[in-house]
């Protein structure tokens, strides 16, 4: 008897301790329910004293703009809530939707989160206006528009991609080093993946000790973004990857056929970060924001340069939006601020100081943008190069309900073959299909 | 509080003083004796009910519902979530990893903690320095530990592989192979928790009265014999605490394996082939990844809860046996003398 009781006591004690962590908790903030009717109409022009909270992540480069805005609108105080990591900001936005509470008047969201946020588009206000219509290219606005045509996000920056390359390694391999010649070598405006890999072969044959590119996963990001419907059918949102002739399978086969040219370094790992300073690979796919990451990873490596070319044509990787929750207390004032922050003049100023490449048609042509050069890349005209790359982006892929998960699994499938070398391409593809099948 | 006010009011002044206490007073007195202790400890239980019991039951409710994190509840699901989770090979992979990392971390950790505590318990110079020294890693934030060890165990540029190569061995693919990945993660856990457990065990060892050891020495017991026959049985309750807490912590491991994987910038990936994805990471992926399937996530939470409960009970039983083996189970006679 005694032991049974003791066991129960222990069991109760253990369960008590265990409960505390296994149970989930949600962090609620300011509990303003979006469903409690229309918010008080406050416009930026009114003189009522209001505070606007805005949540961003990483670096949006807004500090100066906020100071200026508050100076122009003395009744408005802006509180900037800056998450250190985009994952934290994503969790906060999702929590706020899940608990139906509004903590910030404006929230920033990455392009990758848009498909899931669009499913809860009722939570956000329609931010389109006659004023900002046509400010962005169609592909940018389309990714913040729900099925009923409601626009929930105002585009901030974008990630048009060029090709970063190592001049010294190109020279060692007997390839041209000048950035216009490199662009021409890879096919210029009609650059193809075949051309990229065949030049890679030429480079590998020179045995410089370096590989042609960092990893297959990095290339997949570009190649998949160049497909119209990489994983899912636009018609009915069904997953198409299992079809033998699916675009995803074609990309997979093309990439895994060229594993030999890879440095086998998965993006964002410590090994990858350190490799920029040493002679591990000669080229890397370069969205505008990547230029700062390379410069940060290898401040003393003076041989990185950038060419106005991308295998397969053009592509955009990343970029963000500003969203206004419909249940906030100052929706109109928040819309006005978000609209102002994403206007061409402001985004061009952010680019000049922080390097976040704008997504607005006029900002991209702004002299402040096109005239920018970057000393790290041997004074390459990065503003003009990315402006050209931006204009070349024609479309963005269809991102259905499972895009994020499938893309993640696709990356893992390539890592298994390329970095971990635990699977053959065929076995890894089978694992990928199995994992996709399990998505609910 | 109520009883004191009653006491002041009920006894009238003057000649009634010697009258036997009133019924009400008696009742209140008895109530005071019986109920007060519960009232005094109630704050803990009230807090526990709010932060422990309620989330637990609510999680159970979520786990039998079709629940999307963003769009909320979509009716009952019965046990479909549990069935779906149990049919996913990935869940079993996560379970395998969790148990493996738990064993690789908790077992060496507790054995080492015992040994180090025994050493610290001996007469050392600068005792406090050594005792504080073992606790230092515990102060380091788990994320910082993750970053440091992530660099050390990097596949190509890591320090550990550089050392292995120096000693003529082949470098190990710490992120690609299952067992090395588990060992690397267990190392992080051990680094951080060893000192904490050592101090807890040390405190228990110091509470053992000296005359027990003296008796053992007179009986001619060696140091090793003393350790196994006196120290370990005497610190059994503490050992139990250490084992149960490290079981719970070990099976809920999240920070270290999360920090171990920086690929694709995605949190909670756990390796390209799920080499070191743990149950808590899987739970997070299901509920807060882009599937937003809170129902299944809650089902995983409950399954994990049950597993922890079962393993803790097994541990409890084992600890009872191990610790008493030096005692009554065998050599009863000698034990009597020792424990006298």
With beta carbons under 8 A apart, name residues in chain B contacting A419.
176, 263, 272
Residue A24 has pLDDT above 60, yes or no: no
Residue A297 makes CB contacts below 8 A (sequence gap 6+) with: A273, A274, A276, A277
Residue A2 has pLDDT above 80, yes or no: no
Closest by Cβ to B154, choosing from A20, A271, A412: A271
CATH 1.10.1740.110 fits A161-315+380-437, yes or no: no
Largest Cα separation within chain A, whole Å, is 87
With beta carbons under 8 A apart, name residues in chain A contacting B88.
438
Question: Which one of 3.40.462.20, 1.10.3720.10, 1.50.10.10, 3.40.50.1820 gives the CATH number of domain B83-339?
Answer: 1.10.3720.10
The arithmetic mean of pLDDT across residues B106-129, rounded, is 90
- Greatest mean pLDDT among A80-89, A356-365, B3-12: A356-365
Strand duo A320-323 + A106-110: pairing:
antiparallel
Kindly state the percentage of chain B with pLDDT values over 90: 44
Contact A434 B290 (CB under 8 A): no
pLDDT in tens, A241-262: 999 889 999 999 999 999 999 9
pTM for the model stands at 0.81
Nearest-CA distance from A264 to chain B in Å? 10
Residue B213 has pLDDT above 50, yes or no: yes
> What ranges in A186-307 are assigned the alpha helix state H?
193-205, 216-225, 247-256, 270-275, 290-297
Q: Give the model's pLDDT for residue A38.
A: 39
Residue A104 makes CB contacts below 8 A (sequence gap 6+) with: A53, A54, A55, A81, A96, A325, A328
Q: Give the model's pLDDT for residue B334.
A: 43
Q: Give the model's pLDDT for residue A237.
A: 87
CB A257 within 8 A of CB A187: no
The CATH code for residues A50-158+318-370 is 3.40.190.10
Residue B176 has pLDDT above 80, yes or no: yes
With beta carbons under 8 A apart, name residues in chain A contacting B82.
none
Q: What share of chain B is helix, strand, coil (3-state, %, to 5)?
A: 75, 5, 20
Residue A25 has pLDDT above 90, yes or no: no
Residue B4 makes CB contacts below 8 A (sequence gap 6+) with: none
Token pair for residue B18?
Answer: 């010697």
Kindly state the percentage of chain A with pLDDT values over 90: 67
With beta carbons under 8 A apart, name residues in chain A contacting B262.
268-270
Residue A236 makes CB contacts below 8 A (sequence gap 6+) with: none
Three-state DSSP state, B118: helix
Contact A413 B298 (CB under 8 A): no
pLDDT in tens, A110-149: 998 898 899 889 999 999 998 888 899 999 999 999 989 9
Task: Measure CA of the first residue to CA of the last residue in chain A; give whole Å.
Answer: 47
Sequence spans of domains, chain A:
50-158+318-370, 161-315+380-437
DSSP state of A325: B
Residue B262 has pLDDT above 90, yes or no: no
Higher-scoring residue by pLDDT: B1, A319: A319
* Mutate which: B154, B265, B290, B311, vs A, most A CBs within 10 A: B290
Token pair for residue A341?
Answer: 């922050």
Q: Any CB–CB contact under 8 A between B307 and chain A? A: no
User: Please, what sign has the CA dihedral across residues A411, A414, A418, A419?
Assistant: positive
Residue A408 makes CB contacts below 8 A (sequence gap 6+) with: B264, B266, B269
How many Å apart are CA B195 and CA B203, to the nearest integer?
A: 12
pLDDT in tens, B66-111: 998 888 889 999 899 999 999 998 999 999 999 999 999 999 999 9
Residue B257 has pLDDT above 70, yes or no: yes
Give one DSSP letter per residue of A357-408, joined into a string: -B--HHHHH-HHHHT--BGGGTTB-HHHHHHHHHHH--------TTHHHHHH
The arithmetic mean of pLDDT across residues B250-275, rounded, is 78
The arithmetic mean of pLDDT across residues A175-199, rounded, is 94
Helix (H) or strand (E) holding A72: helix A63-72
Supply the ipTM of this predicted assembly: 0.76
Residue B332 has pLDDT above 90, yes or no: no
Contact B309 A16 (CB under 8 A): no
Q: Give the model's pLDDT for residue A39.
A: 41
Could you give the angle at the alpha carbon of A253 between the alpha carbons of A247 and A257, nearest 5°?
A: 150
Higher-scoring residue by pLDDT: B265, B246: B246
Three-state DSSP state, A137: coil
Q: Give the model's pLDDT for residue B5.
A: 45
pLDDT in tens, B278-313: 999 999 888 888 788 999 999 999 999 999 999 989
Closest by Cβ to B69, choosing from A94, A423, A440: A94
Token pair for residue A279?
Answer: 């002679």
Residue A188 has pLDDT above 80, yes or no: yes
The residue to which tokens 């060229």 are assigned: A258
Q: Give the model's pLDDT for residue B315.
A: 87
Residues composing chain B: 340
Q: Give the model's pLDDT for residue B179.
A: 95
The residue to which tokens 């069991």 are assigned: A11
Contact A23 B291 (CB under 8 A): no
Nearest-CA distance from A370 to chain B in Å? 30
Give one DSSP letter per residue of B176-195, joined into a string: TSHHHHHHHHHHHHHHHHHH
Sequence spans of domains, chain B:
2-63, 83-339
Residue B4 has pLDDT above 50, yes or no: no
Q: How many CB pairs under 8 A join A and B?
A: 160
């Amino acid at each position: 008897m005694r032991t049974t009781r003791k066991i129960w006591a222990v069991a109760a004690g253990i369960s008590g301790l265990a409960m505390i962590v296994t149970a989930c908790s949600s962090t609620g903030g300011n509990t303003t329910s979006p469903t409690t009717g229309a918010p008080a109409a406050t416009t930026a022009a009114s003189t009522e004293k209001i505070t606007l909270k805005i949540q961003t992540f990483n670096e949006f480069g807004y500090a100066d703009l906020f100071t200026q805005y508050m100076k122009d609108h003395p009744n408005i105080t802006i509180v900037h809530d800056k998450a250190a990591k985009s994952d934290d900001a994503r969790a906060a936005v999702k929590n706020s939707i899940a608990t139906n509470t509004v903590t910030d008047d404006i929230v920033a969201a990455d392009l990758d989160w848009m498909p899931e946020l669009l499913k809860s588009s009722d939570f956000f206000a329609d931010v389109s206006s006659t004023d900002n219509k046509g400010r962005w290219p169609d592909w940018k606005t389309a990714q913040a528009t729900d099925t009923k045509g409601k626009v929930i996000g105002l585009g901030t920056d974008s990630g048009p991609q060029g090709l970063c390359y190592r001049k010294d390694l190109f020279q060692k391999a007997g390839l041209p080093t000048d950035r216009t010649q490199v662009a021409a070598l890879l096919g210029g405006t009609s650059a193809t993946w075949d051309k990229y890999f065949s030049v890679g072969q030429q480079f590998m044959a020179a045995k410089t000790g370096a590989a042609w590119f960092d990893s297959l996963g990095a290339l997949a990001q570009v190649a998949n973004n160049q497909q119209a419907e990489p994983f899912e059918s636009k018609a009915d949102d069904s997953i198409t990857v299992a079809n033998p002739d699916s675009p995803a399978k074609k990309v997979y086969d093309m990439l895994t056929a060229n594993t030999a040219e890879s440095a086998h370094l998965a993006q964002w790992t410590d090994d990858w970060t350190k490799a920029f300073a040493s002679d591990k690979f000669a080229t890397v796919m370069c969205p505008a924001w990547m230029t700062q990451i390379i410069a940060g990873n290898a401040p003393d490596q003076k041989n990185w340069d950038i060419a106005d070319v991308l295998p397969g044509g053009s592509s955009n990787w990343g970029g963000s939006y500003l969203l206004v929750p419909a249940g906030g207390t100052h929706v109109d004032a928040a819309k006005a601020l978000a609209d102002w922050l994403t206007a061409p003049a402001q985004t061009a100023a952010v680019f000049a100081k922080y390097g976040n490449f704008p997504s607005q048609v006029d900002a991209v042509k702004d002299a402040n943008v096109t005239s920018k050069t970057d000393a790290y890349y041997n004074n390459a005209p990065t503003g003009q190069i990315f402006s050209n790359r931006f204009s070349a982006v024609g479309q963005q892929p269809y991102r259905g309900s499972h895009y994020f998960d499938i893309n993640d699994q696709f990356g893992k499938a390539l890592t298994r073959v390329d970095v971990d070398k635990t699977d053959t391409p065929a076995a890894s593809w089978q694992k990928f299909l199995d994992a996709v099948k399990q998505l609910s | 509080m109520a009883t004191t006010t009653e006491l002041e009011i009920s006894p009238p002044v003057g000649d009634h003083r010697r009258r036997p206490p009133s019924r009400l007073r008696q009742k209140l007195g008895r109530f005071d004796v019986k109920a007060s202790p519960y009232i005094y400890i109630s704050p803990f239980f009230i807090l526990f009910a709010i932060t422990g019991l309620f989330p637990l039951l609510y999680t159970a409710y979520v786990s039998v519902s079709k629940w999307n994190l963003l769009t909320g509840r979509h009716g009952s699901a019965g046990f479909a979530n549990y069935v779906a989770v149990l049919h996913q090979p990935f869940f079993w992979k996560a379970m395998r990893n969790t148990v493996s990392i738990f064993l690789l971390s908790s077992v060496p950790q507790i054995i080492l903690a015992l040994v180090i505590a025994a050493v610290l318990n001996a007469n050392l110079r600068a005792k406090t320095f050594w005792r504080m020294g073992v606790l230092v890693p515990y102060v380091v934030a788990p994320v910082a530990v993750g970053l440091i060890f992530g660099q050390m165990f990097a596949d190509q540029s890591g320090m550990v592989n550089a050392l292995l190569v120096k000693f003529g061995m082949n470098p190990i693919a710490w992120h690609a192979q299952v067992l090395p990945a588990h060992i690397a993660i267990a190392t992080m856990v051990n680094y951080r928790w060893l000192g904490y457990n050592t101090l807890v065990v040390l405190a228990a060892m110091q509470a053992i009265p000296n005359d027990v050891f003296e008796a053992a020495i007179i009986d001619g017991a060696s140091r090793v014999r003393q350790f196994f026959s006196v120290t370990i049985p005497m610190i059994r309750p503490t050992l139990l605490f250490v084992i149960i807490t490290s079981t719970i912590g070990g099976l809920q491991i999240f920070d270290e394996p999360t920090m171990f994987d920086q690929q694709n910038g995605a949190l909670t990936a756990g390796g390209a082939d799920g080499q070191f994805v743990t149950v808590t990471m899987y739970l997070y992926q299901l509920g807060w990844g882009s599937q937003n399937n809170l129902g299944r996530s809650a089902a995983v939470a409950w399954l994990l809860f049950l597993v922890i409960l079962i393993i803790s009970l097994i541990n409890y039983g084992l600890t009872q046996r191990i610790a008493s083996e030096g005692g009554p189970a065998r050599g009863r006679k000698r034990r009597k003398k020792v424990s006298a």
